[in-house]
């Protein structure tokens, strides 16, 4: 018991120190600072990895019950951890979105560590995530060609084979959307920077954020954004019902 408590204490102390160090180096003035920063992040990320991830992914990222993480890149880490899918709670057809276990700094440290192990698709920079100069209309075109077949034209998600599903996009922020395209998690195909350029990813991200956060559903009830079938059924039941009531009223003897 005593050793466990002291272990925790050491970890917490290490985290605080690492956090403090990281903050101290947060304003990189020179290339040297940047490198130091990066190696600190990698070291901290390794600690976090060994505690939280190595049980499944292996002490050397080689994969045990989970897949190998060599070459998956920082984009995969950001997507999986920032959407709460990792650490995995239990085995199922597909990792569900959960409460996020790590803060942004820790996620960046983990991402830096995994990126240092064999490279791979990189998470976007903050400048890339600023979608204000994205082209909303082009993003819509690209979304409908590349994304809507699985994620639904309004980002409401949909079913795949054998209990897998394409998730709804409402909960995903710009960084999660971007890293999902970049890393191709689980069933999702990967859209590398040659397939969809960073500018096109920005357009798509802007469009997805637009339809999931700003779209006002001018027709009233969205009915889950599932399109014509629930809409048709609703108007059929409600409309025919109303018409029957009106017909009865017209025909009723006063």
Question: In the set 192, 217, 227, 240, which binds another protein (CB under 8 A)?
Answer: 192
Total number of residues that touch another protein (CB under 8 A)? 26
248 interacts with another protein by CB under 8 A = no
CB of 148 to another protein, least distance (A): 9
**Strand, helix or coil for residue 49:** helix
Indicate the Cα dihedral angle 8, 11, 17, 20, nearest 10°.
Answer: -90
CA–CA gap between residue 27 and residue 36 (Å, rounded): 12
Q: Give CB contacts under 8 A, 24+ apart, made by 87-93.
A: 87/52, 87/53, 88/56, 92/163, 93/162, 93/163, 93/164
Eight-class DSSP state of 86: -
254 interacts with another protein by CB under 8 A = yes
184 interacts with another protein by CB under 8 A = yes
122 interacts with another protein by CB under 8 A = no
CA–CA gap between residue 89 and residue 98 (Å, rounded): 9
Residues 123-162 close enough to bind another protein by CB under 8 A: 141-142, 145-146, 149-150, 158-161
Residue 87 CA from chain centroid, whole number: 14
Cβ-based nearer residue to another protein, 37 or 74: 74
214 interacts with another protein by CB under 8 A = no
Question: In the set 186, 198, 222, 223, which binds another protein (CB under 8 A)?
Answer: 186
Task: Give the angle 11-12-16 at the CA atoms, nearest 5°.
Answer: 115
Question: In the set 2, 4, 31, 253, which binds another protein (CB under 8 A)?
Answer: 253
Residues that bind another protein (CB under 8 A): 121, 141-142, 145-146, 149-150, 158-161, 164, 166, 184, 186-192, 194-195, 250, 253-254
């Amino acid at each position: 018991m005593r050793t466990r408590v002291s272990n925790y204490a050491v970890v917490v102390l290490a985290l605080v120190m690492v956090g403090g160090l990281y903050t101290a180096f947060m304003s990189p003035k020179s290339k040297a600072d940047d490198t130091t920063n990066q190696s600190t992040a990698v070291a901290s990320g390794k600690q976090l990895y060994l505690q939280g991830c190595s049980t499944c992914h292996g002490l050397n990222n080689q994969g045990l019950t989970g897949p190998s993480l060599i070459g998956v890149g920082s984009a995969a880490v950001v997507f999986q951890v920032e959407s709460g899918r990792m650490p995995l709670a239990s085995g199922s057809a597909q990792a569900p979105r959960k409460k996020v276990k790590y803060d942004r700094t820790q996620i960046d440290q983990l991402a830096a560590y995994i990126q240092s192990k064999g490279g791979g698709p990189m998470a976007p920079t903050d400048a890339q995530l600023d979608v204000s100069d994205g082209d909303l209309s082009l993003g819509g075109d690209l979304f409908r060609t590349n994304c809507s077949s699985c994620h639904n034209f309004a980002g409401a998600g949909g079913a795949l084979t054998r209990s897998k599903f394409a998730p709804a996009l409402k909960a995903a922020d710009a960084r999660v959307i971007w890293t999902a395209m970049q890393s191709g998690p689980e069933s999702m195909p990967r859209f590398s920077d040659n397939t969809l350029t960073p500018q096109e990813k920005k357009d798509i991200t802007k469009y997805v954020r637009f339809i999931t956060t700003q779209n006002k559903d001018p027709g009233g009830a969205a009915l889950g954004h599932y399109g014509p079938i629930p809409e048709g059924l609703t108007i059929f039941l409600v409309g025919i019902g109303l018409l029957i009531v009106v017909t009865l009223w017209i025909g009723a003897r006063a």
